[in-house]
Structure 1
Amino acid sequence: MRNAAQLDAGQREAFRKDGVLLLKDFAPKRAVIAVLRQYNIWRNTVIMQGADDKTRGDIARARQAMDVTEGEEIAPLRKLAHDLGGALLGPDNVHEVEAQLIGWAPSGPAWKPTWHIDWVNKHLRLKTEDQFPGFQLLVGFPLTPALREDRGNLFVSPGWHTEICNTFRQSPTLRDPLEAISKGIASQVPWGTPQQLLVAPGDVILTHSLIPHGVAENKGAGFADKLYFRLAHKTAIHRGGRDALDTPWRNWQGMQDGG
């Protein structure tokens, strides 16, 4: 395990190129185990209170577990996420947009992996282009192992953040490329060749917000659990989103060399 501020030049360059960086054995495993323990207590308690199979299924996925994401157990991982955000976005520049726990149950026969970009449809619903509804950096902590493919792994399309930025830069409006991306999401036309990330508790996933991503099928016996923090540079929240979409590293103080 290393200090979050010690991302080296090679790691930063890999992140610049791919928009994705997997840091192996980077987070304190004791903290990861503590969050997973609380998550399981929360999930099992609420599942038992489910009124029907659909309710239990929705709860089992446990997309939001606010009593866990706001609890003291999460504090060490939140600090590490913010330290990483500070190393990349710049010290004192980090705004936490969201903390989210997601648990993917073993897949049924109808499972179809789908990719998306988190903020696209939300951006399309805005009335003006000078708002920024999203985030810039996703920091993920696997709570359970996914060391083989199809274990509820996060899959990503490395390098496509640059292509997407170029699309925005060449368009006079944001709506046209946003609508094109939204149609691509709806039709599930792939962006490049998606790669499944093989992870274990203690690893940390960093992705640029413009990276297409999704969740692979879970052929394992148990839940595939992850904790995510979505972070943004404070100025992006107030100034608007155009430059965050057409210039991939505009507000990333830690990525400015050659950015």
Structure 2
Amino acid sequence: MSKVGVVQMNSGATPEENIKQLSLKLKGLQQQGAKLALTPENCIVFGQKEDYERYAEPLGQGELQDTLSALAKRYQIWLVIGSFPIRNVDGSLSTTCLVFDDNGVLVEHYHKLHMFDVEIEDGHHSYRESDTFTPGNEVKVVDTPFGKLGLSICYDVRFPQLYSELRRQGVEIIAVPAAFTKVTGYAHWDILLRSRAIETQCWVLAAGQWGSHGAERETWGHSMIIDPWGNKVATQREGTGVIIADIDKSQLAMIRKKMPVAQHARLECKLS
């Protein structure tokens, strides 16, 4: 078994303050024996379009990414940054998950596929992620010492076809960093996450932003770790903090053996 951790944060638009908060959380996880840590979406910059434009860096370059690399190396932990603004070669921005190994090497990245362009009955009202970011076009799986890790970000969780493809590629652990709104979180967060775990028979690590972030934006929190049977084994409902759990791959193997849904799938069938 391997200990993994999830960080719940209340990030703002200033990277330095967010990194201070993150460093303390990682230190706590290291002291508890965690070997992998997942942070929420927008953990380093959570603001307006101009904030993401200001702090965006080319992939694998820049002071902020160097700092994150150093944190992973300092705490000897695989660090999954839920999302970070990456400036692409054409000048556009992607909101991107970054995976650093325990030596601080950036081993993989994932550009968020699905843009959160919706109307919500809250104080913020309108969310138009595509006004700032360009969607990605690749599914990403990372080989880690703890198992195959599938990457996703927040709104992606509403699209089960992505997770079916991750399972097809052999994923055992799924990362869902998020900044779910308070309204949609209350309604859908729990059931969506547990559904993704049950249908893929994977461990799910879900890291959320929590609280108020200015511009009348409120996030739901309720970070959790879910086992492949759909049980919540650790939860941080409100506030900031960390949760930790042991990833038991033997449990995953047993569930898949007893209920081999991947082998039973008949997606090749056609309607008559």
Write 1 or 2 for the structure with the bigger share of strand.
2
Write 1 or 2 for the structure with the bigger share of helix.
1
Give the structure-2-normalised TM-score.
0.28
Give the structure-1-normalised TM-score.
0.29
